[in-house]
Amino acid sequence: MPEVEAHITGTVWKVEVEIGDSVSEGDTVVILESMKMEMPVEAEDDGTVKEILIEEGQAVNEGDALVVLD
């Protein structure tokens, strides 16, 4: 199952999807905040959101899985 991963170290500012949502490649699924900048994290594949592994306000590292698609 494809995972959407953080491309930077930062804090989860906003989760843009819910479990069961359909997403297309390029859709923003999470917004990370790093050094006062908001950085969208986009789906790299089409799919349905199966799991959300993070919550708003949580610190994440580059490469951490944020969302699992089915």
The SS3 of residue 5 is strand
Please state the pTM of the whole predicted model: 0.92
Q: CA dihedral in degrees (15, 57, 61, 69; nearest 10)?
A: -20
Number of domains in the chain: 1
pLDDT tens string 2-28 = 999 999 999 999 999 999 999 999 999
* Token representation of residue 15: 């989760």
Looking at residue 18, the DSSP 8-state letter turns out to be -
What is the CA 59 to chain-centroid distance, rounded? 12
Domain of 53, in residue numbers: 3-69
Distance CA 10, CA 17 (A): 19
Would you state the pLDDT for residue 54?
98
Q: What is the CATH number of the domain that holds 21?
A: 2.40.50.100
